[in-house]
Chain A
């Protein structure tokens, strides 16, 4: 019998240094594990994707009725509403975060403990889980987006190569802003073992102020002002409007900078709040 393998190893890995090679290997492994998990529950994922598609359909029907066949609402024609909500669906799918519920479950059941025992920050696992779900969901959401535009006669005249190329960085930054902000918010579960009520308040605000419910242009001035003081428009409204060609030139750069600014704010908050959260953590169960 080999009598060597579990002996203390002479050269233990040096965890004091960040190793990008090790991190890359971890990401590949965790992404694979998440994907295997998601595929094991493909039925549930499919239902989530269908839910993602139904909401914009309802919005399209409502706003087309409001605008009327030839009319418009604050610069949005019926056909533009269709494209707006179709792209919003894509952005929403790619930026959606469910961590606030996940954290509540982790803390209540004690599932947080194993994550805290590993020599790697738990946020990396969530990044992988998130990306995996989104990549798998794209298989349903992308064709659904095209079908919505074709089926409801969306206006794609403003979308060209330039719009797509400027949309992509806006989308990636939007994903980062929302992921980091909601990761920090999810940490509230360390203090409040039941955070569902807080989550519902947050999501109601998000729905209105991000542009998911309606383009910000058609909302009252006061709501628009409030929205722009929050990070929400930079998560949905901004990337969608860049894709539609409604934001150009300097506006795009201002948007990127705003997104980067919010990322910075979220990172600082994350650092401060995470330390405190771990300190107050009292693992459930004896």
Chain B
């Protein structure tokens, strides 16, 4: 059985709209204008139990709206979805009891009481037996190094510490589906890495299905073999991460290191790289060329220069994604 099935999901918000200025403000008293905003349009996918899927898109693409529908916070305008056999927005307690939505910018723990007290409250809410609760708190605090934090009030924790505690608190009931919305936002690199490896470990141990949105591609690369990309509320791509790069990356980067103090003559280099822009480095240069031309340009460079090292790289995933979004924005704006 699939864990998540989404079919032609659609969410339209009705937002009030008016021009700036006093005149428009007075006008709005008489006649209110509303505009339809299509936050999610015709999105569909399925996710198997145990999968970790990256959900990508720029700000306002519809990621969070989709996650909120799947966690039962929002009703869709049309379309269907089932998660663990439940329709999320019916908000059946049996569903809520085995699902978790963790939002990086929201505080779910109680601000003024020690973390452990908040956890005990969650134990009561999710009806977790004492033995399970004790074992899970121990395990989660070991995985996330929480021991020192459990007795401190939440307000005294740093952002990173709080996020770790939030995540552990949301997993005490061992959810089978986990929606993570920007779980590493605002955290330093070490803490991001810790959260990332924890999510991978949690998925390995429990077989829970994870859907993750993040602006940090490192999160996605480390955790997700599969990505779903949406933009302007529409699904752009659903497949393996490498395939996304393969399909959308038009260029490759050739990094060249030169053997010795070779006086690099830009005029001579131009024809070798078909006139593409060259970026100089201390010991050589790099150049981005269209994928199809890469072998020819590389061969020419090797033949024409005293090369000590030459590496051909796929572009960073960030820039691929950026290209995808730019291309589709241009399409939308143009037509």
Contact = CB atoms under 8 A, between A and B. Distances in A.
Nearest to A19: B127
B285 interface: no
Nearest to A37: B112
B176 A8 contact: yes
A119 interface: yes
A113 B125 contact: no
Given A110-B106, A114-B108, A117-B101, A3 B126 contact: no
Interface in A228-286: 278-279, 281-283, 285-286
Contacts of A13: 97, 126-128
Contacts of A15: 92-94, 96-97, 127
Interface stretch (A28-36, A47-55, A85-93, A201-209): A28-36
Contacts of B142: 1-2
A32 B124 contact: no
A30 B73 CA distance: 23
A283 B69 CA distance: 10
B308 to A, nearest CB: 46
Contacts of B196: none
Centre residue among A4, A33, A117, A281 by max chain B CB count within 10 A: A117
A41 B112 contact: yes
B91 interface: yes
Given A30-B124, A283-B68, A6 B112 contact: no
Contacts of A5: 132, 135-136, 138-140
Contacts of B72: 116-117
Contact of A3 (B74, B111, B205): B205
B74 A283 contact: yes
A9 B73 CA distance: 25
Contacts of A283: 68, 73-74
A50 to B, nearest CB: 22
Contacts of B99: 117
A118 B205 contact: no
Interface in B94-108: 94, 96-101, 103, 105-108
B97 A279 contact: no
A114 to B, nearest CB: 4
Contacts, number: 128
Interface string B56-75: 00011000110010011111
A140 B60 CA distance: 50
A119 B174 contact: no
Nearest to A3: B205
A22 B93 CA distance: 14
A40 interface: yes
A7 B64 CA distance: 27
A28 B135 CA distance: 22
A26 interface: yes
A11 B202 CA distance: 20
B127 A22 contact: yes
A66 interface: no
Given A25-B124, A33-B121, A283-B68, A2 B112 contact: no
A93 B112 CA distance: 24
B117 interface: yes
Contacts of A26: 121, 124-125
B132 A9 contact: yes
Contacts of B71: 117
19 contacts: A4-B135, A5-B132, A6-B174, A6-B202, A7-B205, A13-B97, A15-B92, A15-B127, A22-B127, A29-B121, A29-B123, A113-B73, A114-B108, A117-B100, A117-B101, A118-B125, A119-B96, A282-B13, A283-B74
Given A6-B174, A14-B94, A118-B125, 15 more contacts: A2-B138, A4-B135, A5-B132, A9-B132, A15-B92, A15-B96, A26-B125, A29-B121, A30-B121, A117-B73, A117-B99, A119-B93, A278-B91, A281-B73, A285-B105
